[in-house]
Amino acid sequence: MSMRSNDRADTRAAASRAAARRTAPVDLPTPAPSSFGKVERPNGPLGLGIIASLVTGRSQPNYLFEAAARENAPVAHLRMAGDHVYILSDPALVNEVFLDNARDVMKGRGLQAARSLLGNGLLTSEGDFHLRQRRLAQPAFHKQRIAQYAEQMVTETVRHVSPWRDGDRVDMVEHMTSLTLAIVGQTLFGSDLTGDAKMFGETLAELISGFGQLSALGNERLVRALPQGRRLLAKVEDLDQVVQRIIDDHRSDIANGHGRPDLLTWMIQAHDDQSADRFGATMTDDQLRDEVMTMVLAGHETTAMALSWMWYSLSVEPGIDQRLAAEWQSVLGTSPRVPTFDDIAQLNLTRAVVAETIRLYPPAWIMGRRTLVDMTIGGWQIPSGSIILGSPWILHRDPALWDSATSFRPDRWLNSEGQFDESAPGVPRGAWIAFGFGNRRCIGEQFAWTEAALLLATIGSTWRPELVPGTAVETQAAVTLRPRNGLPMTIRRRHLDAD
Ligand code: HEM
């Protein structure tokens, strides 16, 4: 056998090992047969343009979906890879499907395709198994735990920016991604993911973008049949090995009586008596692996994008940046100390900037569900098995819901006393959906608010990143909403007393 065919055989073997782990039978619901017969559908664009844009990444699916949704409000329809897809643009209808009818839908095509990477973890699992995993993971996100993580978040951040020098040119997307990856690794698994395996972050980034593009095909088997899909799966196996090492280390520390205070230790030790007969009392290594991968993925890329868009927004809004500097000076001092969890309550404008950034640039820009039963939504008969999309990008930028919808106005999140208040914008329920809904709502929401506010204050009170002049910043709506060509910025030292 030549080297090349040897390589190919290795790739195939690794891909099938990775695929085999993720095709173990799971409790997935199936859509009931529809009894609607022939139905009338709302208008909408041809799906081909959207599929092409998702697969090639050339045009902007967020703008395409938004235009389709607005032109055909409140329900637009298109065909995508054999599916009937409905885009909802009325917050009441989005709530009706994602919250009130949550038991009658399952995750949509994008996340189902992500099973190749995430297995059957919190993001992708369904029904009773999902509830069991949620029960096991929830204690790791209680307030006192987040307060404990806060210190580690700030320590990692200080360490990360310590090599920065005045005038350095950096890509803030890369920096925020490696920093949030390090934070998730430390806080949730007590592991240095960037150091243990620098390849972890790089491989994950490649997988997110690769699987993101392939998910438009909407068919896991097709993904596996393509050479690109097999290459990605072989890389999943590389990550599996790192994660298995982390699990083994934790198990042996627990056995030696040195269990660490982190999510993985709690998940290894957790017993679930309620569903022990169906799923076992404790989690297997494969289940742990899926949750680790899910938390790493869901917990770093989203926050990294929120922070990246924040630096971009502040760089183009110097007035807000100056007011933030004043807030940091008053809370942290002129020679600023590092912020703590308790400071967050006073960092009102800082939190308003976080909220306004993820309103305008929601990292999880679209959510999909497949209907399991026939539904009538907004007067339209939607047959069982259809896909329904709700999009923070579309709802957060709707001029009928938000004043100056496309302008960056953090003050909308401050109440009359100048305090941050999530209900201050006064929009209807379902118009602000950056973290999702009900029992599928982001489990890491408080983690994310804490991390974003602390990182912004820690870095911002010492550094003022400036966008390199002439840089055209555009959105790239992949799995998360990213700045398309990164974010080249010049780092300027900030002197709070001089600002
Ligand atoms: C700004 C940052 C973040 C945003 C905007 C965000 C957004 C979301 C959204 C919209 C969902 C629901 C998806 C759906 O219903 O289809 C979700 C779910 C989830 N998020 Fe986040 N997230 C963020 C940060 C985090 C962090 C820091 C973690 C973990 C440390 C995390 C872990 C998860 C998990 C595990 C789920 C699945 C929950 C379940 O279905 O039970 N996320 N996130």
For residue 339 the two structure tokens come to 């912020």
Q: What are the helix (H) ranges across 271-380? A: 276-279, 285-316, 318-332, 348-360
Q: Is 233 in the pocket of ligand 1 (CB under 6 A)?
A: no
In a domain, 2, yes or no: no
Burial class (CB in 10 A: 0-12, 13-18, 19+), 67: middle
Q: Is 296 in the pocket of ligand 1 (CB under 6 A)?
A: no
In a domain, 25, yes or no: no
In a domain, 26, yes or no: no
In a domain, 234, yes or no: yes
Least confident of 116-120, 444-448, 495-499: 495-499
CA of 212 to the centre of ligand 1 (A): 17
For residue 135 the two structure tokens come to 């029960």
* Among protein residues, the one whose CA lies closest to atom 36 of ligand 1: 442
pLDDT, one tens digit per residue, over 245-294 is 889 999 999 999 998 888 899 889 988 888 888 888 889 999 999 999 99
Residue range 197-223: average pLDDT?
A: 69
CA distance 192 to 183: 9
In a domain, 224, yes or no: yes
CA of 298 to the centre of ligand 1 (A): 6
| Residue count (the chain) | 499
Q: Looking at this protein, which amino acid is placed at residue 325?
A: A
Mean pLDDT of the chain: 89
Q: Is 460 in the pocket of ligand 1 (CB under 6 A)?
A: no
CA distance 101 to 88: 14
Residue range 208-237: average pLDDT?
A: 73
How many CB atoms neighbour CB 51 within 10 A?
18
Count how many Cα atoms sit within 13 Å of the Cα of residue 460 in the half-sphere of its side chain. Answer: 34
pLDDT at 15: 62
pLDDT, one tens digit per residue, over 343-369 is 999 999 999 999 999 999 999 999 999
- Kindly give the number of the ligand 1 atom that is closest to the alpha carbon of 451: 27
Nearest to 49 by CA among 41, 61, 37: 61
Q: Is 181 helix (H, G, I), strand (E, B) or coil?
A: helix
If one counts the domains in the chain, the total is 1
In a domain, 57, yes or no: yes
Question: Which residues form the domain of 268?
Answer: 9-19+37-498
Best probe residue, ligand 1, of 302, 365, 433, 455 (max atoms within 8 Å of C-beta):
302
Q: CA angle at residue 345 from 149 to 263, to 5 degrees?
A: 20
pLDDT band at 2 (very low <50, low <70, confident <90, very high): very low
CA of 319 to the centre of ligand 1 (A): 31
For residue 83 the two structure tokens come to 């599916």
Q: Is 444 in the pocket of ligand 1 (CB under 6 A)?
A: yes
Best probe residue, ligand 1, of 180, 442, 454, 456 (max atoms within 8 Å of C-beta):
442
CA of 442 to the centre of ligand 1 (A): 4
Least confident of 92-96, 182-186, 322-326, 490-494: 182-186
What's the gap between Cα 36 and its chain centre? 35
pLDDT, one tens digit per residue, over 38-55 is 999 999 876 555 666 555
**Contact (Cβ atoms closer than 8 angstroms) between residue 132 and residue 282:** no
Q: Is 295 in the pocket of ligand 1 (CB under 6 A)?
A: yes
CA of 490 to the centre of ligand 1 (A): 31
- Kindly give the number of the ligand 1 atom that is closest to the alpha carbon of 130: 41
In a domain, 24, yes or no: no
Examine residue 465 and say whether the peptide bond preceding it is cis (omega within 30 degrees of 0): no
- Kindly give the number of the ligand 1 atom that is closest to the alpha carbon of 305: 1
pLDDT at 385: 97
CA distance 197 to 400: 47
CA of 449 to the centre of ligand 1 (A): 12
CA of 159 to the centre of ligand 1 (A): 26
Can you give the pTM of this predicted structure? Answer: 0.92
- pLDDT > 70 fraction of the chain, expressed in percent and rounded: 87
pLDDT at 24: 55
How many CB atoms neighbour CB 143 within 10 A?
10
Q: Can you give the CATH number for the domain in which 292 is found?
A: 1.10.630.10
In degrees rounded to 5, what are phi and psi of residue 85?
A: -115, 130
- pLDDT > 90 fraction of the chain, expressed in percent and rounded: 66
Contacts of 22 (CB under 8 A, 6+ apart): 115, 116, 119, 120
Q: Is 306 in the pocket of ligand 1 (CB under 6 A)?
A: yes
In a domain, 313, yes or no: yes
CA of 123 to the centre of ligand 1 (A): 8
pLDDT at 19: 64
What are the distances in angstroms from CA 347 to CA 84, 124, 321, 418, 451?
45, 35, 14, 11, 13
For residue 94 the two structure tokens come to 């989005």
For residue 286 the two structure tokens come to 């494969």
H or E segment to which residue 84 belongs = strand 83-88
**Contact (Cβ atoms closer than 8 angstroms) between residue 229 and residue 214:** yes
DSSP state of 429: T
* Among protein residues, the one whose CA lies closest to atom 9 of ligand 1: 435
Count how many Cα atoms sit within 13 Å of the Cα of residue 296 in the half-sphere of its side chain. Answer: 33
For residue 347 the two structure tokens come to 């960092």
CA distance 485 to 488: 9
Contacts of 454 (CB under 8 A, 6+ apart): 150, 153, 154, 157, 339, 341, 344
CA of 448 to the centre of ligand 1 (A): 9
- Kindly give the number of the ligand 1 atom that is closest to the alpha carbon of 369: 16
How many CB atoms neighbour CB 395 within 10 A?
27
Q: Is 134 in the pocket of ligand 1 (CB under 6 A)?
A: yes
CA distance 99 to 477: 24
- Kindly give the number of the ligand 1 atom that is closest to the alpha carbon of 368: 16
pLDDT band at 3 (very low <50, low <70, confident <90, very high): very low
Burial class (CB in 10 A: 0-12, 13-18, 19+), 353: buried
H or E segment to which residue 466 belongs = strand 463-467
CA of 311 to the centre of ligand 1 (A): 21
